[in-house]
Each structure stands twice: as structure tokens, then as C-alpha cells.
Structure 1
């Protein structure tokens, strides 16, 4: 990646205090922290992703984890978009490498989906989340970044109820295709109107009712089915990657085949995500990894009930030939023109003040008593708890599905 991004501000490790552990993943431990000097009352906590260098066993694993962590920091340093995280700062010592991003108290889309009675979202809610995710992916593609890890667990809910994508260690720098028309689905935050208070209403103003409900869409039962070098490239218009990355149920056919892949893998994943939000399950999940990949290559996604504009969108995104997939030629602009998004006011998307779910504000005062030094805490944290099955806070429903 180009070195044009400004250097990230350095955080003082001695000033950082842990409020709680948000989770542990492949890239280390994620803490909710505050700066004890600048913010002693913890009114503005932030998330700190920490790679503990001393806990990595092999030299090879250490190099790979360090490379992926520094790559994610590089990507974050370039992001400036309302639906993508910003890099608040970095900290490094002999023991650890950490990078700070805004805290999203609403948990992730996976948890939110599974808290629904039927474990599915209504089409208007799906439209809202897909539109914001589409804007985020479009921005990434416009700066030459293929995300490659879209899944519900990586879609976080901000305090405002809007989304933020997370985890960029599997993303990849690609040369954009020359024929792609790079049109920003949502301008940078500072390009939005400063005040639109008198125009602010509820979600229906920006997302008018679509025709799918009139067609009698049946919901699924409330059930959830719970990197190598490949062939020689043959891609002349742009650039492809040969890495085998992604989550099994979300991986694109071209990745499984090893044909090389580019930005269209994100549109495939967007189709899988839309399917899961609609039915509560992914379309190609098999009993094992081999069967899942076979389904990805050969199986046609199954739809319940009458065909709708949403199922048509999903089907076009889940085209197994990436060159025929919706979004391949003109990127997000092509997808925005689909009938499912008809009437969406893309320029006013961030002005929606009543998204489907808004997390309650947490009282940071109760958390400061657990404040600990990050380095000391890592030493005592032999086996950090896994990512919780659900966030500690309950969601507040500001808008019922009936209001859409």
C-alpha cells in the first residue's frame, strides 16, 4: 500500500487503562480502554486491539501475525468514511503492538440477527444494512482494497445504530479495473450537509416501502445452520489475488477454484450476507468443509416463497461466474441501480437518526473500577475469554418493524 497515509498518533501505554476485555480473536485481544490522563472518568472509551508478541509460539506465526497486524494498521490509516473505522492511534513496546479504533457498543450483526424472534430481518431492515455496507465496500474498492472478510460478525453497530466494518487483516491491495466507474456511494463524513435537522424523520423517508411484502414473502423457520498459491493468472483488466482467504460459508467460487480473484468476491459475500439476513442461514453450508465448497461451486441457492426484488438481487450477486456477477463491471454503482434499492436517498443515508436498532448508552462510571494497566493485564491473562455469544448490553428498539 502507498505510504501517503499520515502517520498515526502514538498512544502512551502507561496512560491506557483496561475497562474490560471485549473479546479474543486470531489477531490477539481486544480491550475496551480509556486514557487515564486525558479521560480519567472514561467518558469516551475506545477499542484497543492488542497483539501480544510474547504469546506467539513459532517464529513463522509471529512474523505472519505481525505482518497482518501492521497491514491492518496501514489500511485503517487511510480510511475516512462514516461506515468504516478510523485509526485513533497506535502503541508498541517489546511485548505488544496495539492499535485503537472507535468502540461500537451495539455488538455485531450476527448477534443482532440471532436476537430476532425468527432470527431473520424484514426486507426494509435488510435494505438499510445492505445499503450502508455497500457504501463501505465501494469506498474500499475506490482506494484499491478488496475487503475479503465480509460476514455478520464483522459488521459492528455504532452507538448511532449505523454500521462499521471491522477486521482488515485479510484485505488485499489490488489495482482497480480500468473499466470500473468509481462512484462514491457515500461521500466522506465532512462532505455531508452540516445540518438537516428539520428534514430528519424516520427510516421510511430514505427507504420507501418496496414491493416484496406485497408478494407474500414467507419467512424461514427460526433456525440457523450452524492460503496457498494457485494457477497462473489470466486477468488482463486489473489485478487478481491468488490467496485463499475468507470464511467457508462466505467464500466465493473463484476462490475455491483457485482462479484468482478480485473485487467481485466482496459482491458474492454481500449476496451471502443478504441471504442469511433473510432466511437466518447461509445458502451453501454443508456438513463439512469439503461439502460446503462443493455446494459453493455447484449448488443453486434455494429461495422460499414467491420471487421478490430482494431474492433477485441475491441471485444476481450469487452468480458463480464473477464476470457475470452484479457489480463486476461498474462496481457498487451497478448494484445501487437494482430495483431493491429503488428510492434510497444515498446522499442522506447518514442522516437517518432512527436506524432499526440503537444500543443504549453505557455508564462508563461503573467500568473505571476495573481499570488496569494493559501490559500487566496481558501478563495475567493466560487464557482470555472468547468473544461473547452476545454483547453485555441489551438493544433498544427505537423503531418497530411495523413502522417501516
Structure 2
């Protein structure tokens, strides 16, 4: 369905990032949302330093969204494109994200029961992605949104990647078109798949010696560039710097060699450059569970270099007598945060292996969205019918971004800056 940008009235900005600005939009009764509200992500083709690659990333996300059909993954409501803008609409999640919810709690940690609920739904979403051959690669609390009914929805798929999956576990629906080769990424924004999988990560030892030597040299160069590129942002995503060599060799091995992710959530195999597969998402689940339980991520250092060193070498620290009081929870974290992907929970049996862990005993996996009551129900959304008439035009918003500032004005704190 086409989104009519002539009639779309944005009520406010939900988030900004390198890949676009997200608006809360009052829905046209004849368009997506049918009289309610929706989130509109808009990619400004003029604002990216690498326009061609950013455009490909945006189109990959739209393509993927058009194929998703899972209760904990977003659906594509509609799209719009002009010579300067590419926009796509998805359902609005009024409950914010898990990070916002955690900070609203008195002690800023979740109970084991709440963790079990939110992580179970997140695992179901990741399982569906994996079954379609998509590795997510950007799991963090800011990307786990809460719908009006309290259930979760994953968001932000531009760092995802299509990888080969075994025929026995492939989805019955055709997979989306493989994402293209991208070169740079500097930012993220915060707005606000379910079949058994055989292991797809294979050893690089079978590659020719010269090819491996070339790969190591490439990774050393690209990792260094990615680290330098990411210095501008507090919780930076480590982004694909160049995939040309890695994409040609990694696809045959069922791995990606992109240096990509959010620094506190990246898996050791991403930091080391050995190549990664679907198992990086299970590592990120372990980091997310730890943060929800203890209010901090397990490997965060004083700077990016120390964080990556901790990811590679530091032992997991469980506060106090947590291991005695919550043995199932700490065991789940420990097994997900196994540095060797081949020993990590989920490697051998995919999501089903994680579902079978004692921490999830009694969980009705097939009926999560129907019978499980969420720990938190967002308050009813305000009626924006009146506000819709006072909203602003999305296209005018971006026109202002590209207007030259008045002579002598200070633009360092402009609300319309595309850099963060």
C-alpha cells in the first residue's frame, strides 16, 4: 500500500539515526493504520555520506519487512518514495522499549518472571528470522519495543544479513533478496522467526592457506577502520566497513565477516574477525538477559577497546549470591555467553535448544501471544485526533534540514541535525 505523504501529518519525532528518522504519524483513514497511528521511518537520500550504500540498506530493510509474518516482528503497512525520500510505515508501539521500561522500575532490574516473558518472545522472533536465513545482529533493549497489549516487537533490521541455512530447516516461504554489499555505517536510532535449525557455522580451516592469510589482513584493516569510525557515538554500532572480500568467501562457509553490531552486545567471533553466523544473536540474548537481571551489561569497559577485550577474555561476574538464589537464570546466561560458538546454547539445536533450558520450564511457547499476560501493559494512548490537525508535514521537515542557515546563526545545536 502506498503512503500518501501529501496527507501524512507527523505528530512527533520518535527517533533519529543514520538510516532514517522515525515519526509518529496520524493515519489517514484511507491509508495504513485505518484511522489510528503508525510509525513512519523516512530515509533522506540527500543526507548520507555514502548515498548508494545507505539506499541499499534502506531498501533491504523494506524488502525484509515485506516478508515478515510473525506476532513479534513488525509488518510493513505501506511505502512511499519521492526523488529525495524513501519512507515505510510499520505499526506504532506505544509502550516504548525495554530500556525505557527498565529505567522506570524502582531498582532498574526485571524480575525473573518478567525476564522469562520478554526473552521468550524475543527468542521466538529470532527463531523465525533464522528459519528464513536472516541473522539479526543488533539485539539490544532499545530494539525490543512494547506494543499496546504489552507484547514485544523487534525493530531496526538494516544490520541484518541473509546467510545460507540447511535445506532441512529452511523456511517454506521464499527468503528475501540477499542484502547488498555495504561499506559504512556510523549511527543507530532508537524509536521506538520459530523453526529448529541445524548448525550452519563451519570452520575456516578448510579454506586455502593463501585465502585465509588475505582474509586475516583484510579483517585487521577493516576492524581498525570500524573502531575509528565508531568513536563518535556513546553506544556505537560497530558497522560493516567493507564486505567485498568477506562476502565472496564467507557466503560459501555460511558465515559473515562484517564487523557489525552494538559494542556491548557483539559476540567474540565478531570482535576477533573469525567469521560469524546465527549464533551471534544467541550471544546477544545472553547479554540482554544479564542486563535485565542486573542493570548493566556484563562486559562494558571504560572505553571501546576495554569493552572488546572484556568480551574476548573476561569471566562473567554474577553479583552476590545470585548463582545460589537463581541457578537456572545464571546457568542460562553462562551457556549463552559461551565464547566458543560451537559450545554456545543454541548452536546445535537453534531456538529449540534454548526453549528446553530449565529457566523456561512450563512456558507455553506455542501460545505466548494468546495466553501469557505481559508483566507491563502500557497506559491507553492519548487521542491524537485533534493533534493531527496541528501536526507537521514530513517533507517540510526534511526541506528545513537542507536550507542554508541564516547568516551569523549558530547551527551547532540544531534540532534538525542528522549527526548525533
Q: Which band: TM-score by shorter chain?
A: 0.7 to 0.9
Could you say which residue in structure 2 is the equivalent of 1:313?
A: 332
Indicate the residue corresponding to 1:286 in structure 2.
301
Distance 1:331 1:235 in 2: 20
SS in 2 for 1:15: coil
Deviation for aligned residue 1:24: 1.0
Q: Distance in 1 between matches of 2:388 and 2:349?
A: 49
List alignment gaps of at least 5 residues for structure 2: 173-192, 196-233, 403-413
1:14 aligns with 2:34: no
What's the counterpart of residue 392 of structure 2?
372
Distance 2:301 2:249 in 1: 30
Q: Which residue in 1 is equivalent to 2:79?
A: 90
Residues 364 and 138 (structure 1 numbering): CA distance in 2 closer, same or farther, change over 3 Å?
same
Of the three residues 44, 63, 66, the one matched with 1:74 is: 63
- Structure 1 residue 34 corresponds to structure 2 residue 26: yes
Give secondary structure in 2 for the equivalent of 1:54.
Answer: coil
State the match for 1:167 in structure 2: 156
What is the TM-score when the length of structure 1 is the normalising length?
A: 0.78
Deviation at 1:185, TM superposition (A): 3.9
Check 1:68–1:236 CA distance in 2 against 1; reply closer, same or farther (3 A cut).
Answer: closer
Cα distance per residue 1:75-109 (max 9 Å; x no partner): 10110000000011110001211011000001110
Q: Distance in 2 between matches of 1:12 and 1:374?
A: 11
* 2:133 maps to 1:118: no
CA distance in 2, matches of 1:43, 1:239: 44
Tell me the distance in 2 between the aligned counterparts of 1:41 and 1:248. Answer: 35
Determine the structure 2 residue equivalent to 1:331: 350
Q: Aligned partners of 2:4 and 2:125: how far apart in 1?
A: 31
Whole-Å separation in 2 of the counterparts to 1:311 and 1:179? 32
Judged with a 3 Å threshold, the aligned counterparts in structure 2 of structure 1 residues 40 and 352 are, in CA distance, closer, same or farther, namely: closer
Residues 178, 238 of structure 1: 8 Å contact kept = no
**Aligned pair in 2 of structure 1 residues 366, 113: CA closer, same or farther (>3 Å)?**
farther
**Which of 108, 113, 118 pairs up with 2:97?**
108
Residue aligned with 1:281, SS: coil
* Alignment pair present for 1:356 and 2:375: yes
The alpha carbon displacement at 1:353 in A equals 6.1
Task: Report 1 or 2 for greater relative contact order, CA contacts < 8 Å, sequence distance ≥ 6.
Answer: 1
Mapped to 1, the partners of 2:94 and 2:102 lie a distance apart of 16
Give the equivalent residue in structure 2 for 1:342.
Answer: 361
- What is the CA deviation profile of residues 95-139 of structure 1, one whole-angstrom value per residue up to 9, with x for unaligned ones? 211011000001110110111111100000000000000000000
What does residue 54 of structure 1 align with? 46
Distance (Å, rounded) in 2 between the aligned partners of 1:178 and 1:93: 39
Judged with a 3 Å threshold, the aligned counterparts in structure 2 of structure 1 residues 229 and 371 are, in CA distance, closer, same or farther, namely: closer
Residue 271 of structure 1: how far off its partner (Å) = 0.1
Task: State the Cα deviation string for residues 213-238 of structure 1 (Å, max 9, x = none).
Answer: xxxxxxxxxxxx99346997998996
Aligned ranges for residues 164-313 of structure 1 at < 5 Å? 164-177=153-166, 185=194, 227-228=240-241, 239-304=254-319, 305-307=321-323, 308-313=327-332
Task: Report what 2:177 is aligned to.
Answer: none
- Residue 365 (structure 1) shift: 2.5
Alpha-carbon shift at residue 33 of structure 1 (Å): 1.1
Which region of structure 1 is more displaced relative to structure 2, 288-297 or 231-240?
A: 231-240
Is 1:41–1:364's contact at 8 Å kept on the other side of the alignment?
no
Distance in 2 of aligned mates of 1:140 and 1:132: 13
- Structure 1 pair 288/329, CA: closer, same or farther in 2 (3 Å)? same
Tell me the residue number matched to 2:147.
158
**1:335 and 1:181 mapped to 2: Cα distance?**
19
Structure 2 residue aligned with 1:25 = 17
